[in-house]
Amino acid sequence: MSMDEAKITALIQRSRDAMEFAYCPYSKFPVGAALLTTDGTVFTGSNVENASYGLTVCAERTAIWKAVTEGHKRYQALAISTNMDDWASPCGACRQVMLEFGKDYPVYLSKPDLSYVKMTPIELLPLGFSPEMLHEFQENDNENSNENGIENHKTDK
């Protein structure tokens, strides 16, 4: 599904609006995301930091978690915003989560002036571990196990 320029700008603006809800007392770096599902629903997210830094959640993952927990797993586009004068590029964990739900939907990395660069999850994480790779491995593993007469046995000790 192709989006016209007005819809792209509106989605980027929604991601900018989401930045207002960022909880970032440590980094002082608000990030906003807006995720458009295939049925037209938009889920927004902002980063939520924690004093235990590893527990921080990025805006992109917040938006995706909200969508998934509402039953939405197919996406039309994702917009990401920060206050940097450079493109709002997602971290590695977010790239992996985006790839979980599709390789080819547009991801708009934006600047404060609403300009953007369009990428896809597979472009952002070219050799990422995708669900298809796991399914392919499992199918091949099952075929090899059956062909070689290998069975899984548990041993009691």
Domains and CATH numbers, the chain: 5-147 (3.40.140.10)
The residue from 60, 123, 139, 151 that is catalytic is 60
Model-level pTM greater than 0.75?
yes
DSSP H helices, the chain, are 5-18, 59-69, 92-100, 121-124, 131-147
Question: How far apart (Å, rounded) are the C-alpha atoms in residues 103 and 99?
Answer: 5
Q: What is the pLDDT along the chain (157 residues), one digit of tens a residue?
A: 679 999 999 999 999 999 999 999 999 999 999 999 999 999 999 999 999 999 999 999 999 999 999 999 999 999 999 999 999 899 999 999 999 999 999 999 999 999 999 999 999 999 999 888 888 888 887 766 555 454 544 545 4
Is 60 one of the annotated active-site residues of the chain? Answer: yes
The answer to whether 110 and 67 have CB atoms below 8 angstroms apart is no
Nearest to 131 by CA among 79, 91, 73, 92: 73
